[in-house]
Amino acid sequence: MRELARFRRLAWWTSAATFGLVLVGAATMASDSGLACHSWPLCHTHQLWPSLVGGVVLEWGHRMGALAVTVVTVLAAGAGLRLPPSSGPWRRGAWVALILLALQVALGGLAISSRLAPLVVVVHEGVGTAFLCLWVGLAVLAGERGRAAPDGGVRPPV
Ligand code: HEM
């Protein structure tokens, strides 16, 4: 089924973009750059394009990366929501992914406004990891279903 193959491709793109974002998030943390942009959602209170110097490169890069991940997630989830429910758990997966993404962005903002409260940062890391695992799982499952039933498990009406 062409729609399932499209969903699988988008799920892999979302996984790859999220993996890159996790690395930039880890680099932000390891270099103590978490408050290089001390305000949320804009940098230094009102800047959409701050000067990319020092820790701002990683911290602002992480936020812009989150924006890119949001775009591919919406595309992938939209493709999942269009698949027939009988072909697999794509719709449930898409809704869970959208909820996790909204939660993760809110936690990112809370991490800044709470001045990196440890509990918030730990939950942000956990939800980010769960989000990545979810997309890799959906991508692998979509590949397996596509191979097992090239029609995606959807029988034409008789
Ligand atoms: C899909 C979206 C996102 C994912 C998957 C994600 C993931 C991560 C991960 C894995 C870390 C590293 C934690 C560690 O290594 O222990 C991190 C750090 C961080 N993230 Fe995000 N993040 C996302 C969105 C955001 C957003 C929108 C913000 C908003 C400001 C944000 C702010 C931060 C900050 C400030 C840190 C560094 C924390 C510190 O220095 O202690 N994140 N993120």
Sequence-ordered alpha helix ranges (H) in 49-89: 56-81
pLDDT surpasses 70 at 155: no
pLDDT surpasses 60 at 144: yes
Residue 131 CB partners (closer than 8 Å, separation 6+):
18, 97, 100, 101, 104
State mean pLDDT over 46-68. 96
Least confident of 21-25, 34-38, 125-129, 152-156: 152-156
53 vs 140: CA distance, rounded Å:
39
Residue 150: CB atoms within 10 A of its CB come to: 11
Residue 12: CB atoms within 10 A of its CB come to: 19
Ligand 1 neighbours, Cβ below 6 Å, are 18, 21-22, 25-26, 28-29, 34, 40, 62-63, 66, 69, 101, 104-105, 108-109, 111-112, 116, 121, 124-125, 128, 131
- What is the greatest pairwise CA distance in the chain? 64
Residue nearest to atom 6 of ligand 1 (CA): 128
State mean pLDDT over 64-78. 98
Token pair of 121 as six digits: 């940062």
Burial of 153 (0-12, 13-18, 19+ CB in 10 A): middle
| Residue at token pair 């209170």 | 45
Out of 18, 19, 23, 29, mutate this one to test ligand 1's pocket (max ligand atoms within 8 Å of CB): namely 29
Residue 91 in contact with residue 80, Cβ under 8 Å?
Answer: yes
Residue nearest to atom 11 of ligand 1 (CA): 25
- Ligand 1 nearest atom to the CA of residue 22, by list position: 10
Query: Domain segments of the chain: what residues?
Result: 2-21+61-148
97-123 b/e (C-beta count within 10 Å ≥ 16 → b)? bbebbeebbebbbbbbeeeeeeebbeb
Task: Read off the pLDDT of residues 15-40 as tens digits, 9 standing for 90 and up.
Answer: 999 999 999 999 999 999 999 999 99
Tell me the pLDDT band of 43, cut-offs 50, 70 and 90: very high
pLDDT surpasses 60 at 60: yes
pLDDT surpasses 60 at 153: no
Task: Read off the pLDDT of residues 78-101 as tens digits, 9 standing for 90 and up.
Answer: 999 999 998 899 999 999 999 999
State mean pLDDT over 130-155. 86
Q: Which amino acid is at 50?
A: P
Across all residues in the chain, what is the average pLDDT? 94
pLDDT for 148 equals 86
pLDDT surpasses 90 at 110: yes
